[in-house]
Amino acid sequence: MGFNRTLRSVPFYRDSHGNKASSGPKQGNLVPDYGFALQNGFETILADTRRMLAETGESPFYESVIAVLEAAMDFADRYREEARQKGNTKLYHALCNIPRKKPASFYESCVFMKFLLFTLRCNRNTHITLGRFDQYMYPFFEGDLKAGSSEESLLETLEEFFISINFDLDIYSGMQQGDSGQSMVLGGYSPSGEDMYNRLSELCIQASLELSLIDPKINLRASSRTPVQRLEFATTLTRQGLGFPQYCNDDIVIPGLTALGYAPEDAYNYAVAACWEYLVSGNAMDIPNLLTMNFPLVVETALRQELCRCASFDAFLDKVKEEIRRECDRLMEAAKIREKDGEFTQKSPYLSIFVGGCLASDKDVAEGGAVYNNYGIHGAGISTAADSLAAVKKAVYEEQICTGEELLEALSDNFEHHAELRNRLLSYPKMGNNEDYVDSLASEIMEAFSAYLNGKPNSAGGIFRAGTGSAMEYLFSAARVGATPDGRKAGQPYGSSFSPAITTKLEGPLSCIQSFTKFDMRKIINGGPLTMEIHDTVFRNEDGIRKVAQLVKGFIDLGGHQLQLNSINRDRLLDAQKHPEDHPNLIVRVWGWSGYFNELDKAYQDHIIQRTEFMC
């Protein structure tokens, strides 16, 4: 497919004064309008931009767009000449047509996509997701089928494209190797109720099955109408141990997005960001992972300031909710500070070409040119916070095994010399076992968070959105919090995103999904999956495949918004830590992405090892 780097070390750039140019991040973690580029080609876009410039008379934005389009086409021409000299006639002939014109075949559309991904990253736009690949690529796939191409040959082209985007991952900005943002979304339903899952969707899953590579990350849109046979086929991909597909529930996500003000046609066209944050495709400059609500920190603050003053648990819970609202205000103010510091104002005319609204409004994405400019705030440690509230309710107010002062002393001492109290706290109800006692408290704090934050205006002309994700904050935010009333010791990690605490003893997978589907997830739709680890022996026969598929269906039918299943074997992971040379291709799901186990920092390895393995 071409368009891979030739320099092993990436050079930096100097401005016109000879100073080293800023290498800070530009806009990213969004879904460009690939269909717009593919259906037009750069020459048509260039001609339209020149026309708009002539109509306006003067526009620095349009002038910049013209300059970057010409530069991109010049780059492609030079690459075409290099392909000719190297004897790569197939690539040469493709580049005689694209990116200047619309692709004439499925192969040319794949080359065009590789060109776009490469040039956007050269433009320092990071975590550029692939979006609804099976929708915007399907016309070219279908055209080749009608022209006589076999599915086998098209699958080979698709696999070549998949392999190509696994090169150069070390220069893609991310927390760890593999965190490249190259996620694709398959299937989904149209506003008329049409099932958009097609033959290309199926071949994408098949290609991922055969290649077993970390990119692209596969996301499957589903609903209560999705045939169980499709879920069973997807489960065969889960069996590979890659950590995908991740499931997204149309029944919840689409109403959740429309409630936030997205037009219905855009909500139906949703995809995911680099990990799991919900985005609409092609016309949004949303920043879905701007800041993090650290729920256990909020509980810790309320404990220190208010616990000993509250005569009842309800009074204390009201103080926690007040603290949640104060923290929302603080986070929204922090967003303003980041805006004032210029973090979001680096102009990007090349990216703006592929973000709907920018060309029509004569505005760069950094100037509010996109249709949507919303901000998302994660919600880290929800289960730890709920478990802690349940423990306070039991220990201090119901069973009265300790006073508020005594509990605070034990927490300050990190449970040193308080082993008996800690054991009692550990024995109390924990989120993930379908116990309303604790699950209702999780719903209370999520309601307080989402009701206060959702729809609040930001400075970019958009709104704030609440979510259940944590990304790497299950380590980073957790490190800032001392011992918690659920029995967790200071600094210990949270569960990943919207998942049980990693020390919770869980009764089974069904009880787990029941706990995490009780809240109305339409209210907290920024994204953040329930993550569940299933022992790899479950997948060894067809009966196991069917059981896991039924588990997925149960999650969808119960109203879950996002589910991530990992096929895992703790013994193999432990051996890989000791003998990494014996497991060079071991892939694991980290949070919203997958990577090679041996390339992860030990803290992430340890977290994955500690997660509960279900035997179904």
Q: In terms of DSSP bridges, do strands 587-589 and 594-596 run parallel, antiparallel, or are they unpaired?
A: antiparallel
Would the pLDDT of 123 be above 90?
no
Average pLDDT over residues 494-506: 93
Q: Is the pLDDT of residue 102 over 80?
A: yes
pLDDT of residue 25: 44
> Can you give the pLDDT at residue 6?
72
- Please report, for the chain, how many H helices and E strands are present, in that order: 25, 13
Q: Which two tokens stand for residue 175?
A: 């927390």
Counting residues of the chain whose pLDDT is more than 70, the rounded percentage is: 94
Confidence of residue 27 (pLDDT cuts 50, 70, 90): confident
Positive or negative: CA dihedral 89, 94, 95, 96? positive
Non-local CB neighbours of 550 within 8 Å, separated by 6+ positions: 228, 231
- Of the candidates 22, 26, 21, which has an alpha carbon nearest to the alpha carbon of residue 347? 26
**Residue 10 CB: number of other CB atoms within 10 A?**
11
Residue with tokens 């709907």: 356
- In this structure, are residues 533 and 496 in contact, taking their beta carbons and an 8 Å threshold? no
Cα 279 to Cα 273: distance, rounded to the nearest angstrom:
6
pLDDT at residue 139 above 50? yes
Phi, psi dihedrals of residue 25, rounded to the nearest 5°: -70, 145
> Which range is least confidently modeled, 119-123, 287-291, 438-442, 589-593?
589-593
What is the amino acid identity at position 17?
H
Which amino acid, one-letter code, is at 490? A
User: Average pLDDT in the 496-506 region?
Assistant: 93
Q: What is the dihedral of CA 104, 356, 187, 550, to 10 degrees?
A: 160
Quote the pTM value.
Answer: 0.93
Condensed to tens digits (0 to 9), the pLDDT of residues 193-243 reads 999 999 999 999 999 999 999 999 999 999 999 999 999 999 999 999 888
Q: Does residue 480 contact residue 297 with C-beta atoms inside 8 Å? A: yes
C-alpha–C-alpha distance, residues 492 and 415, integer Å: 13
Nearest to 186 by CA among 213, 206, 164: 206
In a 10 Å sphere around its CB, with 0-12 CB exposed, 13-18 middle and 19+ buried, how is residue 312 labelled? exposed
Whole-number mean pLDDT of the chain? 93
pLDDT the model gives residue 594: 86
- Whole-number pLDDT of residue 4: 84
CB 104 within 8 A of CB 67: no
Query: Could you tell me the pLDDT band of residue 131, with boundaries at 50, 70 and 90?
Result: very high
Express each pLDDT in 285-338 by its tens digit: 999 999 999 999 999 999 999 999 999 999 999 999 999 999 999 999 999 887
Provide the Cα torsion 281, 282, 283, 284; round to 10°.
60
pLDDT attached to residue 343: 67
- pLDDT of the residue at 24: 45
Report d(CA 157, CA 111) in Å as an integer.
10
**DSSP bridge partners of 131:** 184
Domain range summary for the chain, segments of one domain joined by +: 286-372+380-507
Alpha-carbon span 531 to 501, nearest angstrom? 11
Q: Would you give the DSSP letter of residue 370?
A: S
H-helix or E-strand spanning residue 293: strand 287-294
- Per-residue pLDDT, 610: 87
Q: Whats the size of the chain, residue-wise?
A: 616
Write out pLDDT tens, residues 146-196: 999 999 999 999 999 999 999 877 666 666 777 888 999 999 999 999 999
Encoded tokens for 85 = 């000299």
Could you tell me what percentage of the chain is helix, strand and coil, using 3-state DSSP and rounding each to the nearest 5? 50, 10, 40
433 vs 512: CA distance, rounded Å:
5
Question: Whole-angstrom Cα distance, residue 264 to residue 73?
Answer: 35
Interatomic CA distance for residues 426 and 419, integer angstroms:
10
Please write the tens of the pLDDT for every residue from 532-562. Answer: 999 999 998 999 999 999 999 999 999 999 9
pLDDT of 575 > 70? The answer is: yes
Q: Which of 77-86, 385-394, 402-411, 606-615 has the lowest mean pLDDT?
A: 606-615
Residue type, 308: C
Q: Of the ranges 46-50, 238-242, 387-391, 548-552, which one carries the lowest mean pLDDT score?
A: 238-242
Give yes or no for residue 12 having a pLDDT over 80: no
What are the phi and psi torsion angles at 428 (to 5°)?
A: -75, 165
- If we measure between CA atoms, which residue out of 234, 231, 213 comes closest to residue 223? 231
Sign of CA pseudo-dihedral 39, 43, 46, 50: negative
Average pLDDT over residues 263-283: 94
Over residues 46-72, mean pLDDT = 97
Mean pLDDT of 244-269: 97
Among 208, 264, 397, 287, smallest CA distance to 29 is for 287
Q: Which of 122-131, 135-144, 169-178 is predicted least confidently?
A: 169-178
Which strand (E) or helix (H) includes residue 186?
strand 183-187
Torsion of CA 354, 355, 361, 363, to 10 degrees: -90
pLDDT category of residue 274 using cuts at 50, 70 and 90: confident
- The per-residue pLDDT for 341 is 66
Cα-based angle 396, 400, 406 (whole degrees, multiple of 5): 60
State both tokens at 488: 């967790």
- Return the number of other C-beta atoms located less than 10 Å from residue 176's C-beta: 15
What's the confidence (pLDDT) of residue 5?
Answer: 76
* Token representation of residue 529: 């999956």
